[in-house]
Amino acid sequence: MASVLRGKASCAMHMARYTRFSGSLRLSRCAGTTPVRQQLDALAQEQDQETAAEATARPTHEIPGPRRYPGVGSLLTLLWKYSFDPGRLHKIWMQLAEDFGPIIRLKQPGMGNFIGISDPDACETLFRTTMENPLREALDSLKKIRMDAVDNYFEKKTGLLPENGEEWWRVRSRVQTTMLKPKNVADYLEKMDQVSLDFVERIAAMQAEYGEMPSDFQVELYKWALESVGLVALDRRLGCLVPNISPDSEPMRLISNVNEMFSAMNDTEMNVPYWKLFPTSSYKKLERSHNEFLEIADRNIRQTEAAFLSRDPSDRRDISVMEKLLLTPGLSRKDVVTLTLDMIFAGIDTTSHTIGFTLYLLARHPEVQARLQEELDNVLGDHQGPLTPKHLAQLSYLKAVIKESLRIFPLTIGVARTLDRDVVLSGYLVPKGWLVFTLSMLSGWDEKYFPQADKFIPERWLRHKPLGPIHPYASLPFGTGTRMCIGRRIAEQEMYTFLARAMHRFNVDFKYEDIKIAFCLVCKPSAPLKFTFSERK
C-alpha cells in the first residue's frame, strides 16, 4: 500500500510537470475530478510497470552492436566492415540493423555511447519518457558559430535548432501557438496558392522550351520552397520565380548558402568532430556560408520590420506571423530573428526534396497519379479562384500521397534524444546520459509494420486503413511531442497547395534511371529530376 501511495505521489508530480510543459492537462482547473484521478491511477500503474521492467531488464553491455576498441570505440569496425561514409549513413544503419536487430549499441570518439532503435514500441517508450525534457543532439557546430558570432549577434542564445533545456523551452513555449495554429497558417493560403500557380506556369514554360525539365530542376524546386516559406518568414514575395534570375541575386545566394550549410554540417555533425580541436575545412565552410546567409537574411528582416513600422495604424488587416511573434511577451527581437533564420534555413531543402520524391513516385505509378487527379477533379472541378481551407480539407488522398512519399523517402534517418534518466528499451536498461537514435526510416520500410512496404500505396493511410492499423510511432517524418517540427503546418500547406495545382493541370512522367536516396544531413534525390509534364485534356 505504501508503494502505491508513493507511486501516486510521484505520478502527481509527474502530471504537474507535464501540465507546465505541454499545457494539455490543466490540473489547476480540474483537480479532484474523476478523469484526473483515473489518469493519476494509470500513471501510477505505468510507473509500477516501469519499475518491474527495470528489475528484469538485461544490462547495457549485452546490447548487440559492432565490436568496440579502446579509445576509438566502434569507429574502426565501421570503417573496415561497413565502409563508413557520412554520405551513405542510411545504408550503414540498414546493414547494422540486419546484423544486430532492432537495438544496436555503438561508441564513437567525441560522441560516447549511443544506441539506435527501430522498434516502434521502443520509440514510443523513448518519446514518452523524454517528453518533459526532450534533449536533442545539439548541432554543436552551428551552435558554436552562433555563440562566437561577431558583435555577439545572437546574444549567446542560439535558437530552437541547437538549444536544449530551459532556453529551448523559453522560446518554444512562446512561439508554438503562433506557428502551429491552423488559422495563422491558413491566412497565407491564398498567397501560397499564387506562388504555386506561378511555379506551375514556369513549369509549363520550361516544358515548352526543353521538352522536359532541365537537369537542375531541383534548383527550381528550391526557388519555389524559398518563395513559399518567405511569405511566412518575411511576409512578402522574394522574387525567386522571376525567369533568368541572376545567380548573384539575394534569393539565389540564400539558396546557395543553405545548400552549403547542409553539406558542411553533414561533415561536422556526422563525422568525428575534429573541428572541436581545430577549424577544419568543413567548419570554415559552415562558418562562411552561415555568416553570408545571416547577412542577407538580416537585411531582409530589417526591410520587413521597416514595412511594419510604416504601416498606417488604421490598417485593420490581420497581422503577420512575424508581427505576432514580435509582439509576444518574453520574446526579444533577436529571438524572432533567429527563428526566422531557421525557418528559412530549414524550409528550403526539406519541402523541395519531398516534392521531388513525390513527383517521382507519381510518375512511376500512373494508377496512383490517376486516382489523385480524380480526387482533384472532384474537389476543384473548374474552380477559378484561389484554393481555400475547405478545398484542402477534402483532399484526403493527396495528403495520403505525401505521407506515403515521406515513408518511402523520409528526409531523415530518425531523431535523437539524450536520456535524462535510465530507461528500459527493447528489454535493455539504457543509462542516463546516453544518446538514443530512433531509426524511423528503417521501421517505415519494415514489412512487420507496413505490409507491402516496398510498394507505393497511399491508400494505407486513408481513414479505413485497408492494409491494417499503423503503429503511431512507426513513421514520424515531423517528429512528435513538444519537439515536433515547429514548421510542420507551414510545410504541409506548401506541399498540398503545389501538388494540388501541379497534378490538376499536368500528367507527370519520368523516363530515366530509378531515383534513390542520397544523404546529406537530410535526404535528397540521387539523380536529376528530369520530369516530363504534359497538359491534361
pLDDT in tens, 31-50: 344 666 766 666 566 666 66
pLDDT in tens, 225-258: 999 999 999 999 999 999 889 999 999 999 999 9
DSSP string for 338-363: HHHHHHHHHTTHHHHHHHHHHHHHHH
- From the list 224, 195, 198, the residue with the least C-alpha distance to 359 is 224
Residues 19-52 as b/e (b if ≥16 CB within 10 A, e otherwise) read eebeeebebeeeeeeeebeebbeebbeebeebee
Question: Which of the four pLDDT bands, split at 50, 70 and 90, describes residue 25?
Answer: very low
How would CATH label the architecture of 165-535?
A: Orthogonal Bundle (1.10)
Tell me how far apart the alpha carbons of residues 74 and 67 are, in angstroms, rounded to a whole number.
6
Range from 53-62, 497-506, 510-519 carrying the lowest mean pLDDT: 53-62
What number of other Cβ atoms are within 10 A of residue 186's Cβ? Answer: 15
**Own/partner pairs, 21-29, CB within 8 angstroms, 24+ separation:** 21/131, 21/132, 21/169, 21/482, 22/131, 22/481, 22/482
Tell me how far apart the alpha carbons of residues 368 and 359 are, in angstroms, rounded to a whole number.
11
Residue 310 is predicted with a pLDDT of: 83
Does the structure show a pLDDT above 50 at 14? no
Percentage with pLDDT > 70 across the chain: 90
What is the value of pTM for the model shown?
0.89
Specify the residue for cell string 517528429.
479
- Residue 530: φ, ψ to 5°: -90, 65
SS3 117: strand
Question: Which of the four pLDDT bands, split at 50, 70 and 90, describes residue 397?
Answer: very high
Residue 46 is predicted with a pLDDT of: 63
Mean pLDDT of 321-350: 93
Tell me how far apart the alpha carbons of residues 184 and 316 are, in angstroms, rounded to a whole number.
16
Average pLDDT, the chain: 89
CB 163 within 8 A of CB 171: yes
Tell me how far apart the alpha carbons of residues 287 and 40 are, in angstroms, rounded to a whole number.
49
Domain ranges of the chain: 2-56, 165-535
Question: Which of the four pLDDT bands, split at 50, 70 and 90, describes residue 1?
Answer: very low
- From the list 42, 110, 107, 115, the residue with the least C-alpha distance to 74 is 107
